[in-house]
Amino acid sequence: MATKKTPESNTKETCFVIMPFGSWFDNYFNEIYKPAIINAGLLPKRADDIYRPSTIVQDIWNYTQSAKIVLADLTGKNANVFYELGLAHALAKPAILVTNSMDDVPFDLRALRVIEYNKNDCSWGNVLKEKIEKSIKETLESPLNSVLPAFLNITSSEKTKITVNEKDFLELKRDLELMRNEIRHSSNRIENRIPPYEAIELIKKYLDRGMPPENIVDRMYKHGIGGNWVINKINELYNEKSLFVSDEEKENK
């Protein structure tokens, strides 16, 4: 049965939230993202608000088209999230990105507004809520700063139109912001970085505890160690363990 829409839901501008479903993400949406969006003056929408027996991609496209802003949680590098964010970029929609780790944000997107949250902080939920509310209000005031310049050279009347000089200026500004974010990100990691031998010992300890690889990557990131290096070491340690077990089994035969 179709849900009844209130006059407010028909007229209020929306923020389309792009994020994984289930598990803790549903709690984040209800307890953090929705209140922040409402406080910023927009109506929060998510793909699971759709109850009609229609094509989900078409509904997501419609939601994205009608949204004033999109808010995307890139934590975990979910494929559906990146697909929907790509649709938003194609429509030149202002985008605010949220992540638990900057390693989950592709390099080309780090020049956009990215909010990183730290779940080890006891008040991280309230801090994230305040940051999202503030970011939405700032984006509403200057929406072009949250759109990738590549999608601003558009002639359609339904999309944002800018002059060539404005586009060049925004590209330059975005490049500078990207460099600033990368320098800040690299500096933080260098300050916290532990030596490789300590990193390997920590990874071994986490593996012995049965910790999932994605959690190990998250833990090692806090020590300044990149995700790709950690994954490679985990694979090497798994292979070494397999070879050791095989040799042991041969000796027992």
Tell me the pLDDT tens digit for each residue of 83-116: 999 999 888 899 999 998 888 888 778 777 889 9
Final residue belonging to a domain, choices 171, 191, 211: 191
- 89 and 131, same domain (yes or no): yes
The answer to whether 160 and 92 are in contact (CB under 8 A) is yes
Percent over 90 (pLDDT), the chain: 26
Per the structure, the count of domains in the chain is: 2
Q: Return the number of other C-beta atoms located less than 10 Å from residue 233's C-beta.
A: 19
Nearest Cα to 9, choosing from 66, 88, 73?
66
Q: Which domain holds residue 186?
A: 7-191
Per-residue pLDDT averaged across 245-253, rounded?
48
- 201 and 126, same domain (yes or no): no
Residue-wise over 91-122: b if at least 16 C-beta within 10 A, else e? bbbbbbbbbbbbbbbeeebbbbbbbbbeeeee
Q: Kindly list the distances between the CA atom of residue 88 and the CA atoms of 18, 91, 137, 212, in Å, as whole numbers in the listed order.
A: 10, 5, 19, 32
- 125 and 36, same domain (yes or no): yes
Per-residue pLDDT averaged across 35-60, rounded?
79
Tell me the pLDDT tens digit for each residue of 166-216: 666 666 655 666 565 555 555 555 556 778 888 899 999 988 888 888 788
Per-residue pLDDT averaged across 44-61, rounded?
71
Contacts of 75 (CB under 8 A, 6+ apart): 20, 98, 99, 100, 101, 104
50 occurs within a structural domain: yes
- Which helix (H) or strand (E) element contains residue 65? helix 56-66
Q: What is the mean pLDDT of the chain?
A: 77
Final residue belonging to a domain, choices 174, 191, 208: 191
Contacts of 236 (CB under 8 A, 6+ apart): none
Write the CATH number for 94.
3.40.50.450
- 129 and 201, same domain (yes or no): no
Task: Please give the pLDDT value at position 242.
Answer: 59
2 occurs within a structural domain: no
- 158 and 230, same domain (yes or no): no
- Secondary structure letter of residue 6 according to DSSP: P
Per-residue pLDDT averaged across 120-133, rounded?
91
